[in-house]
Chain A
Amino acid sequence: MKHTISVMVENKFGVLARVAGLFSARGYNITSLAVSETLDPGISCMTIVVDAKDETILEQIEKQLNKLIDVITVTDVTKKEHVDRELVLVRVNYAAKDKAKLESLLRKFVAKLVQHKEDTAIIEAVGDQAQIKQLLEELGQFGIKELVRTGRIAMAH
């Protein structure tokens, strides 16, 4: 099952490598990873999405993360009431005749056309996992040329 883990770390060089190394050393796969500063510039927040086969592995991941000296707190937000979002940029084929169709599609989502050039357009969208998945499926009809995602960020209540 996929878990979203929110990790507060000291903002020091090498922290990302320590966290990444912890996963790679145990053969655990990171589905997505987003890192940024928090209100306190000395602390960064890492949102890590992992696919843990069972509870034991998840427990080990949390314990091993906590064991890192630079890690301050580890929270499995999946187990709490939370909001999660991801930002995606999608470049799709774009022809003037499709404009209305594309725009009506985008209105169903938190999405907009941010730039178009020659025969492609870049679309920006924000949403949770299901919304993004749905959007990408629907955009498929135009032909997706390129896709970039930020990885999930999350906040527990």
Chain B
Amino acid sequence: MKLSGSLILLECLKREGVEVIFGYPGGQILPTFDKIYDFGLKFILTRHEQGAAHAADGYARVTGKVGVCIATSGPGATNLVTGIANAYMDSIPMVAITGQVRTTLIGNDAFQEADITGITRPITKHNFLVKDVKDLARIVREAFYIASTGRPGPVLIDLPSDVQLAEAEFEWPEEVKIIGYNPTYVGHPGQIKRAAKLIAQAKKPILYLGGGIITSGASLEALELAEKINCPVTWTLMGIGGFPATHRLSLGMLGMHGTAYANHSIMESDLIIAVGARFDDRVTGRLDAFAPGAKVIHIDIDPSSISKNVKVDVPIVGDCRQVLRALIDDLGHGPEIDEWLKFVEALKKKYPMSYKEKSKIMPQYVIEELDAVTKGDAIICTEVGQHQMWAAQWYKYIKPRTFISSGGLGTMGFGFPAAMGAKIGRPEKIVFNVAGDGSIQMNIQELATCVANDIHVKVAILNNGYLGMVRQWQELFYKHRYSYTPITSPDFVRLAESYGAVGIRVEHKKDVRPALERAIETDNTVFIDFRVEEEENVFPMVPAGEAINNIIGGLA
């Protein structure tokens, strides 16, 4: 049967199991929107293409499926760019589809033309410009395959308008074969044996988990390994939820705003078992001072992540879950490390997480209450800044795919549209976006999308009147010179109401919990404007470029 390019695309999306597309129409993608109109795939019209990209990203993070967004050529496509870069940095499976001017006009500086495959080359796992409709089905298949396998990432398909209109025989390629792309899933057995041997000999081992735990669904294996070795466990921002924060072996997040006991523990350790993490600069601090006495076992599906930043003693390329399973099976009994556990416990007692009450609502308290009200079982999305770190530090995540945050790129404006996508992916869950008053204004237009589509996201704005994280750096490292960090906001309550959502303002500590409860009970999108302490800082903190046991603030 002959189908148009647009129908081939949609037919392929359906067969890939796509449930929802986030997007925005425009001139060069019109033929495809004409088919979307009555094709039967759920479509969410965002109010900005960036919102569509982040929503697809948020959807992918909570479901583990490939998120899909679509936009027109030129500005539509460039508006996706931040969202694509964000997904790339955090290894999120996404397929972005863009309209393009017709093939005969490409390179002509035509109206709304942008070389989007050129622009996105360094921020996609791969991208395609479809020049012939006969290649389209294969390309869509390959795009989903590449996006979702190995180390996942975004793939862009640029689709000229004449290719959308042209017809071809539709053939669904059952198999995908790309000669240069064969991700390694099974770890090398010899390396796994060496790792098991190192673990058995370790005196002060620590498990260091990254986003790869979530991606590969290795939470249970991580838990099993940790309990078998009986060793402390720490994780990165991307690893949050991969290990229950309430577990006795949990040390919480490490790094720049990690717990002091996690940082001191990893610095003192003699064996780091890194799983699906990449020794990012926010984690290691000054590299040459990082964990000087530790040997390193590094498990990752991406060979280029291994030995990139730190010297690795046992590299294991493979899928985290499969490698952990094999490692658990190879490990006889755990090492004798009671002394080490006692030492770590003492660190926990010596440096507990804490904050001091001040005159206004404490932002940390809002997160603690959010945790209490939702019993650690909501999906928490964040923007980027102080509120993000507080949401990472003070909520006790117990399940994977419940903390949705822009880790690598650090994109303000990510949280709200990502929460939209998350709510669509997991409609039965309570979905909160923890935001700052700065970040929320970066994609606030998506309020209209939420209201129009009954996407009942709850937004908790920790409103301190500042771009707080930058202000904190200015306070600590730039002599209190608050250069363009005080920021004004609209009346968030009336703003929410004007969109048809519900707005709540909270100015007193006693009203925090009732407001959260009311927000959850309200059958609508809700903005809560928490007026919090203006100049509270995120502690503990390791200044950029310092060793991670060089911690300032937050110590009792």
User: Using a CB-CB cutoff of 8 Å, which residues 52-94 of chain A contact chain B?
Assistant: 56, 59-60, 63-64, 66-72
Q: Which of A13-21, A95-103, A112-120, A149-157 contacts B (4 or more CB under 8 A)?
A: A13-21
Q: Is B484 an interface residue (CB 8 A)?
A: no
A18 in contact with B303 given A69-B126, A69-B180 (CB within 8 Å): no
Q: Is B118 an interface residue (CB 8 A)?
A: yes
Using CB atoms, name the residue of chain A closest to B146.
A69
Q: Looking at the assembled complex, report how far the CB atom of B418 sits from the nearest CB atom of chain A, in whole angstroms.
A: 26
Bound CA span A17–B120, Å: 12
The one of A9, A56, A66, A72 in contact with B303, judged by C-beta atoms closer than 8 angstroms, is A66
Using CB atoms, name the residue of chain B closest to A61.
B304
Bound CA span A72–B302, Å: 16
Bound CA span A67–B117, Å: 18
Question: Mask for B187-230, Cβ within 8 A of A = 1, else 0?
Answer: 00000000000000000000000000000000000000000000
Question: Mask for B148-160, Cβ within 8 A of A = 1, else 0?
Answer: 0000000000000
Bound CA span A28–B303, Å: 19
Q: Which residues of B contact A25 (CB under 8 A)?
A: 122
Among A18, A56, A59, A69, chain B packs the most CB atoms within 10 A around the CB of: A69
Q: Is the CB of A69 within 8 A of B181?
A: yes
Bound CA span A56–B304, Å: 11
Question: Mask for B297-310, Cβ within 8 A of A = 1, else 0?
Answer: 00000111001100
Q: Is A10 an interface residue (CB 8 A)?
A: yes
Bound CA span A59–B181, Å: 19
A69 in contact with B304 given A17-B118, A17-B121, A18-B121 (CB within 8 Å): no
Bound CA span A151–B117, Å: 28
Q: Which residues of A contact B181 (CB under 8 A)?
A: 69
Bound CA span A71–B178, Å: 10
Q: Is the CB of B121 within 8 A of A69?
A: no
Using CB atoms, name the residue of chain A closest to B308.
A60
Bound CA span A60–B307, Å: 9
Q: Looking at the assembled complex, report how far the CB atom of A136 sits from the nearest CB atom of chain B, in whole angstroms.
A: 36
Bound CA span A56–B309, Å: 9
Q: Is B129 an interface residue (CB 8 A)?
A: yes
Q: Looking at the assembled complex, report how far the CB atom of A15 sits from the nearest CB atom of chain B, in whole angstroms.
A: 10
Q: A9-B180, A56-B307 are in contact. List 18 more A-B contacts (CB 8 A).
A: A10-B180, A14-B117, A17-B118, A17-B121, A21-B122, A63-B303, A63-B304, A66-B303, A66-B304, A67-B303, A69-B125, A69-B126, A69-B146, A69-B178, A69-B181, A70-B180, A71-B180, A72-B179
Residues of B in contact with A (beta carbons under 8 Å apart): 117-118, 121-122, 125-126, 129, 146, 178-181, 302-304, 307-308
